[in-house]
Structure 1
């Protein structure tokens, strides 16, 4: 799928156009997702971080303007990244749509594996690379029963990571399982984890 659009001065469009964003925002509101942290989704992110050995893991819902990490795992001691002004950033629960890699996963509707983001000019200039020192990404879409991509499940590292086929299979299976449970967490009698 092509999602590069011409830009003046030869710049790449870093964030793909997301035509489903308004419908996704309505679907998220209907499901009651993407507005506040969910302890069960935090637990899911913690489990995913442990499973993959990643310092960061997220369950991310994306609307028209922002990304919201309803499930978030970050390391107790964050990797030290010092910005030019001497400050150290802390990854919070919100990120604009023009940052990170998840908006690409949502538009592509398929998993994205970046073993070293610096190997890809499209992604190396992303703000999370400079802001948080992110060097690798593995994410998969959360697709509900209506076919709507609600957001993503992802893991990140501050070091390049050879995720390989096992990492790809893990993230895809985890995302499919969670997407099914998001629509009916009580109906199957099972907690999210």
Structure 2
């Protein structure tokens, strides 16, 4: 297994370097995405959660500073539209809200790789097991695909996750990739004024 070079402080760089972030941020602004919620993206996340049978589903746009879940489905509903992401469900675990730091979660890996990522049990992968979402939110499985538009930029991801290990299998991978392709088609219509 290979790791990225260490940071100056000597820590492993667990979140990959994202050289495309400035171009992505500009492209998201042109498309009017990544700054506010849209009902069709929440509905898309709801549909994705249902298809995958997952408690969490997101349409995630990633800029230079943070991740923004413009479409979000959670098991507890009542999603806050603004920060903070740490509205507590109980005394120990924060809720997943609309915003997340760039070094949290697995979507930053998907956008840098430009490839889907299947993690049936994130704890099986040393690179991912130490991710803050594992401890903070209890996420143990992840399935995500990039939203690559006609310019070749990965705008973000569509993804599902669960607090239990999940055998996503080939069917899950095919579903997440087809849902990403469907959403990219809808996003590209934005330039035509949908």
Shared fold (TM-score, shorter chain, > 0.5): yes
> Matched residue of 2:27: which SS?
helix
> Matched residue of 1:154: which SS?
strand
Output the CA distance in 1 between the equivalents of 2:111 and 2:59: 13
Output the CA distance in 1 between the equivalents of 2:172 and 2:42: 20
Report the counterpart of residue 148 of structure 2 in structure 1: 143
TM-score, normalised with respect to structure 1: 0.88
1:89-128 → structure 2 map (5 Å cutoff): 89-128=94-133
> Matched residue of 2:96: which SS?
coil
Output the CA distance in 1 between the equivalents of 2:38 and 2:133: 23
Report if the CA contact (8 A) 2:3-2:12 is conserved.
no
Report the counterpart of residue 43 of structure 1 in structure 2: 43
TM-score, normalised with respect to structure 2: 0.88
Report if the CA contact (8 A) 2:31-2:191 is conserved.
no
Structure 2: which 5+ runs fail to align? Answer: 79-87
Cα separation, partners in 2 of 1:111 and 1:77, compared to 1, 3 Å: same
Report the counterpart of residue 25 of structure 1 in structure 2: 25
Output the CA distance in 2 between the equivalents of 1:119 and 1:9: 26
Report the counterpart of residue 73 of structure 1 in structure 2: 73
1:127-166 → structure 2 map (5 Å cutoff): 127-166=132-171
Report if the CA contact (8 A) 1:12-1:122 is conserved.
no
> Matched residue of 2:104: which SS?
coil
Report if the CA contact (8 A) 2:116-2:145 is conserved.
yes
Output the CA distance in 2 between the equivalents of 1:3 and 1:179: 31
Report if the CA contact (8 A) 1:3-1:17 is conserved.
no
Output the CA distance in 2 between the equivalents of 1:171 and 1:53: 12
What is the CA deviation profile of residues 83-117 of structure 1, one whole-angstrom value per residue up to 9, with x for unaligned ones? Answer: 9x943311100001011000000000000000000
Count residues with an aligned counterpart. 183
Once the 2 structures are TM-superposed, how far is the Cα of residue 168 of structure 1 from its aligned partner? 0.4
Pairwise CA RMSD: 2.3
